[in-house]
Structure 1
Amino acid sequence: MAKIAIVGSCITRDLWPLREAAPPGLLYVSRTSLASLLSQPVDGYAPQSGPPPDLTRYQHMATQADLLKTGLTQLLAHRPTHLIFDFIDERFDLLRLPTGALITHSWELESGGYLDDPALAGATAIPRLSGACERLWRESVVQLAGLLSCTVLRNATIILHSARWAKRQIAPGGTTLPLQGDPHIWDGRPADLAKHNQMLARYESHFLQTIPQAQVIAAQPEHQLADPAHRWGLSPFHYVPGYYDDILAALDKQGAKIAA
């Protein structure tokens, strides 16, 4: 069986029944940006032994990995046969610390109270849709390309799970209608769906120009629909079942299959 690593979001994770632990052969690195993943660790941050009251153990582990920059170490130790990227978690702003370290301003980071840690004092926001954020992200892709060529990751099949925020949702009877409600990064942080999709197109283009060996997989257009019945609720990136079936079939063709 394949050994799969995901650097991405729930759109890839939800292909397998993940909850608090991954099935054997699967590593999931989430709630991070490539710019944050490849940044220096947060100086002076002391890991907490357990999650804050409002977060699960996995959410806590993912947030701490972004602060301590252990995601790359995990990837190298996992020695994946297939390394899948999706960029849906690239919707969060970045924060820059006075030391120069970058972190991802995820819902978990804010809700878990991590921003109150003295090690994160003085953080300044870099809005996701800003030119500064895009430059940092593009630079990180160049850095990633170097790592893919000179580490054990060079042996992995690189896969880009191409995705966009859904503009329409499924309705009763199999009909579709425009996505209901304004999308949010999280409650209280509205997002511009069109601008995020334009950004994703630019990100994917740069990624493929820089890492041309990447294999691209995508769902059929008719399945790129939001699903109100999705287990995580209605969202532009919580899709209908056919979406996940398409992606699993595409991964199977790449030899990326593991036991659930």
Structure 2
Amino acid sequence: MTSPKYSLLIVGGCVSRDTVDPLLGKSLELKRYVARQSFISAGTDATKLVPKVDLRSQFQRRMLEADLAGSLFRDVEENSEVDLVLWDLNIERLGAWQFDVDSFATDSGEFRRLENYSSITTGVPHIDFGEEDHFRIWKERFFQFKDLLQRNELVEKTLLLAPDWALVDETGETVGLFEAVKAGAYNAIYRRYWDFAEANGFEVLRMQDTVADSHHKWGPAPFHYTEDVYDVFRETIMGKLA
């Protein structure tokens, strides 16, 4: 059995991971997966504000602890000897909590499952995706991220996956009325962030008219796509590495 040819760092979420999953252990080796951590919380520290993280899933616990510690930049620095950095912005949709000037936490599903979630967030400002404060803070972190990648000669090796959220599934059915409305709104918001990344030197792989998979392994959602969508991304990824 041949070893994977290329090493990979993922900064993002299920869009990136679902894309490369069939390639792992074959063409690609995953060095690090920085998941469920928004740019808003990157480089900040909220660990003292959430002293106990009690989740059954070891993976979810690790991801939440990393987010509270704002580990994203450190994780990238420690895993910078890779052939490709794959990046998506799906987690940004959830926004973040701002505990103080230097303490943010992504409002992830894991964070919401904490027993003391309500007491922790009472009276705490929430930074909503697409709001001016969110975009302003995101841009500050963006340039930190870019500087880090530049120091490690990784900007040219970075690919931002930017598929629109799907409005329909493979049967032509709407992906839930509420989800479809939300998808349309989110697509408009995401484009502002994708445009900014592209204007500042990153390769952005966009796809419109995407289709959701009603039988996706993680369940139906506007960002759980058919294999046709992932196949286009895989082809571009392998072409970039070749």
Pick from 88, 106, 109: which aligns with 2:108? 106
Q: Residues of 1 paired with 2:75 and 2:188: CA distance?
A: 31
Q: Does 1:52 align with 2:55?
A: yes
Pick from 173, 193, 204: which aligns with 1:203? 193
Counterpart position of 2:25: none
Which one has the bigger helix percentage?
2
Q: Percent identity?
A: 21
Pick from 1, 6, 27: which aligns with 1:2? 6
Letter in 2 for 1:177: E
TM score, norm. by length of structure 1: 0.79
Q: Which residues in structure 2 correspond to 1:135-214 (within 5 Å)? A: 135-150=136-151, 152=152, 154=154, 157-171=157-171, 176-183=172-179, 192-210=182-200, 212=201, 214=202
Q: Residues of 1 paired with 2:176 and 2:233: CA distance?
A: 25
Q: Does 1:64 align with 2:62?
A: no
Cα pair 1:4 1:83 within 8 Å, conserved: yes
Counterpart position of 1:187: none
Counterpart position of 2:83: 81
Q: Residues of 1 paired with 2:37 and 2:156: CA distance?
A: 21
Deviation sequence 1:109-165 (CA, Å, 0-9, x none): 0113363787x7763211223221121112221222222223x25476011112111
Q: Residues of 2 paired with 1:13 and 1:161: CA distance?
A: 11
- Residue 24 of structure 1: how far off its partner (Å): 4.3
Cα pair 2:15 2:223 within 8 Å, conserved: yes
Q: Residues of 2 paired with 1:45 and 1:60: CA distance?
A: 16
Pick from 38, 41, 46: which aligns with 1:36? 41
- Residue 16 of structure 1: how far off its partner (Å): 3.9
Q: Residues of 1 paired with 2:132 and 2:17: CA distance?
A: 29
Letter in 2 for 1:217: L
Q: Which has the higher contact order (CA 8 A, sep 6+)?
A: 1
Q: Is there any run of 5+ residues in structure 2 with no aligned partner, and where?
A: 23-27
Deviation sequence 1:83-110 (CA, Å, 0-9, x none): 1111111101211012432211111101
Q: Residues of 1 paired with 2:153 and 2:191: CA distance?
A: 25
Cα pair 2:10 2:33 within 8 Å, conserved: yes
Q: Residues of 2 paired with 1:88 and 1:35: CA distance?
A: 13
Letter in 2 for 1:148: L
Q: Which residues in structure 2 correspond to 1:122-137 (within 5 Å)? A: 123-137=124-138
SS in 1 for 2:213: coil
Letter in 1 for 2:88: D
TM score, norm. by length of structure 2: 0.84
What is the total number of aligned residue pairs between the two structures? Answer: 232
SS in 2 for 1:52: coil
